[in-house]
A and B are shown apart, each in its own frame.
Chain A
Amino acid sequence: MNWNKKDLLGLEELSKEELEHILATAESFKEVSTREIKKVPALRGKTVVNLFYEPSTRTRVSFEVAAKRLSADVINIATETSSVKKGETLIDTGRNIQALKADIIVMRHNYSGAAVMLARHVDISVVNAGDGWHEHPTQALLDIFTLKEKLGRIEGLQVAIVGDIAHSRVARSNIWGLTKLGAEVTVCAPKILIPPGIEEMGAKVSLNINEALKNADAVNVLRMQFERDELNAFPKQLEYFKEFGITKERLKEAKKGIVVMHPGPINRGVEMSSEVADGANSVILEQVTNGIAVRMAVLFLVAQARDINANTH
């Protein structure tokens, strides 16, 4: 297939074929990280700017490693050091980065839609590394990649997503990606954390963790952020753990071989027990490894699309 999108803003706007194409490209890049010299020249001479308005060491490092393994030059801009605090608008920042002749902006932003807006105002590629509660497409892609690697397929799988669905871009991107690829998704959380209309995105809703795990081939456990106002109703982290935490006992009742995922960083003893995080079902570290391959694929594809577009215009 011909990839022609210069940006990756979310999985909602991708077709099944496009999703499969990214996954296939990631597969071919995964091998690079096993070489002695972990580098290919695919993006040599290109500049990738990591523009992070929210601190996130893991995602930033993952993109940085991915870009470097493709031989790109990487510049990191974090809010503390940039002009963001001095009140420069996102559009101005984007245009300035473009004027530096960078090729790709990888952006993490605390407001939903920020990446969409940036992409509208710059000609260079924009990769969304998480915007507000909206989407986190590369996280979902690496989750899906890992799942496919483990279970051999996505079509027909039952996947449970557990945790703060309302405020989770990871949940949204996973729902779009998984359902497009033919999996069935059940979201599970206390009612207050289920956003309205989530069923229309193609997910089932369960308020009971045991029920959600019952037929699940995989469970994706989201990080709980108890500092949110909405969670005042859930006064104790322990209480959440009791009702929704993923424990060894709960997994015993689930399908044998259920795959346990977590986008990290884990709150051990809050959303899952340490035993589960480090146990045989957990693929959490494999997710981190696969994140590199998936991000290499995404950076490669968007850069290529931009080159093709530039040549045809």
Chain B
Amino acid sequence: MQILIKGGRVVDPANNIDGIFDILVENSKIAKVAKNIKDEAKLVIDAADKIVLPGLVDMHVHLREPGREDKETVESGTMAAARGGVTTLLAMPNTFPAIDSAENVSLLKEIIKNSAKVNVLICGAISRQRLGKELTDIAGLRSAGVVVISDDGSSVDDQALLLEALKKANQEDVLVSSHCEDKSLSGNGVVNRGFNATRLGLRGISKESEYLRVERDIELAEKSGTRMHIAHVSCSESVEIIAKAKKKGVKVTSEAAPHHFALNEEAVLGYDTNMKMNPPLRSKQDVEAIKKGLKSGVIDAIASDHAPHTENEKDIEFDRAEFGVIGLETELSVAITELVEKDVLDWKKLVEKMSYNPAKILGIAKGALGVGSDADIVIIDPSKEWLVKKEDFLSKSKNSAFIGKKLKGVVEYTFCSGKIIYKAKE
């Protein structure tokens, strides 16, 4: 079937395009990108005053299935992704069981085949059961279809183990994504260490607990000559360390989560557990550093770290509540509101951070709108505002840090392989 998207502003950094074009989709691929396409199409979408982007690639998502289907499933999580304009995502391995063997990869693959609405890539664990003790069979994971390995949720404390993982990952051409946290420093902390933690009477998580680990992990990556990706960068020191490493030629990439550039630690005043995540919301200066890092290119990608939790796990005392927030359905609008509207990034840069760069880091043929590309497309109304409401989320969990906030930019259509997988209500 043919679909013609007419007269939208097409932003496609992969092909160095930013202008008014028509896009013709044939079956699952992009057939033409040109001015005034005259071809007949079954469906014509008027995209005047709209922006047309390649589908977003989110390289940090917790889908919770298998094991915690009460929080999220592959189906609900990918429906949420579609609403947020995300057409490809990387599913993190801290499920039950953890994705630490070829068998478990196959198990997840089967679930994905049956219920995913968007492209789901699989991240495998670095260590068995993510315990940081024994390496997984990285070659086996790779042949089962894993593209990234990570013990996300925990850092690999054992340097020798991580070094070995990096060497294996290098041989297998698998990306290592690193959750940087020295638990001996972050301890039982729940919010950023400093004045705000003190006035709230909550235990602090120091920035050292993050950036000392960023420093160590980059050093090991350099030593092993393996490329490494630093997940959810939250503080200025980490940005500086990554900048230095990149300058030196170390093969390191990094991502930031929307909450870390849109919110600072003061959002925790009032003990809203939807402001509790790991790494925690940091200071205003850190927020500025993250934005600067995005602008300069030190931070390559925006990834949601979508972390669904049930209300039972969140509507309790702050200390006891789970870490993490959902983000798939808000990340694009938060980025538009905080980065594009505030002149941190232009549209092209935004698409780089949310689609083109993560596709490149993951080594997949996504994040582009050229002829022959998969027709993963998002059409947004950039000027429309919307109010984030708990009851509107498609995710099974409602733990968003942006409930009650007004955001700019509404996803009108999401296409995955030429099929409409999301259409906004009129």
Distance between B403 CB and nearest chain A CB, rounded to angstroms: 14
What's the count of A-B pairs with C-beta under 8 Å?
Answer: 66
Cα separation A12 to B317 with both chains bound (whole Å): 20
| A116 and B198 form a contact (CB under 8 A) | no
Chain A: how many interface residues by the 8 Å CB criterion?
24
- Tell me which of A90, A111, A135 has the highest count of chain B C-beta atoms within 10 A of its own C-beta: A111
Q: Mark A109-140, 1 if CB is under 8 A from B, else 0.
A: 10111101100000000000001111100000
Contacts A90-B317, A111-B317, A117-B271; A201 near B198 (Cβ below 8 A): yes
Among B198, B317, B319, the residue within 8 A (CB) of A196 is B198
Contacts A112-B202, A134-B201; A197 near B194 (Cβ below 8 A): yes
Q: Mark B193-218, 1 if CB is under 8 A from A, else 0.
A: 11111111110100000000000000
- Tell me the nearest residue of chain B to A12, going by C-beta: B199
| B201 and A109 form a contact (CB under 8 A) | no
| A114 and B317 form a contact (CB under 8 A) | yes
- Tell me the nearest residue of chain A to B318, going by C-beta: A113
Cα separation A196 to B195 with both chains bound (whole Å): 6
Residues of B near A133 (CB, < 8 A) are 201-202
| B317 and A109 form a contact (CB under 8 A) | yes
| A111 and B204 form a contact (CB under 8 A) | no
Contacts A111-B319, A116-B271, A117-B271; A196 near B201 (Cβ below 8 A): no
Interface of A is mostly: mixed
Among A113, A195, A197, the residue within 8 A (CB) of B271 is A113
Among B193, B198, B202, the residue within 8 A (CB) of A198 is B198
| B201 and A172 form a contact (CB under 8 A) | yes
**Interface residue tally of chain B, by bracket?**
20 to 34
Cα separation A114 to B316 with both chains bound (whole Å): 8
Cα separation A202 to B198 with both chains bound (whole Å): 12
Distance between B4 CB and nearest chain A CB, rounded to angstroms: 51
Cα separation A132 to B317 with both chains bound (whole Å): 11
| B200 and A134 form a contact (CB under 8 A) | yes
Among A90, A91, A169, A200, the residue within 8 A (CB) of B201 is A169
Distance between B187 CB and nearest chain A CB, rounded to angstroms: 10
Residues of A near B318 (CB, < 8 A) are 111-113, 117
Contacts A89-B316, A112-B318; A201 near B202 (Cβ below 8 A): no
A-B CB contact pairs (8 Å), 6 listed: A89-B312, A111-B319, A111-B320, A196-B195, A197-B197, A198-B198
Given A113-B317, A116-B270, A132-B202, 16 more A-B residue pairs with CB atoms under 8 Å apart are A91-B315, A91-B316, A111-B317, A112-B200, A112-B201, A112-B271, A113-B202, A117-B317, A135-B201, A172-B201, A196-B193, A196-B194, A196-B195, A197-B194, A197-B195, A200-B199
Residues of B within 8 A of A (CB): 193-202, 204, 270-271, 312, 315-320
Residues of A within 8 A of B (CB): 12, 89-91, 109, 111-114, 116-117, 131-135, 169, 172, 195-198, 200-201
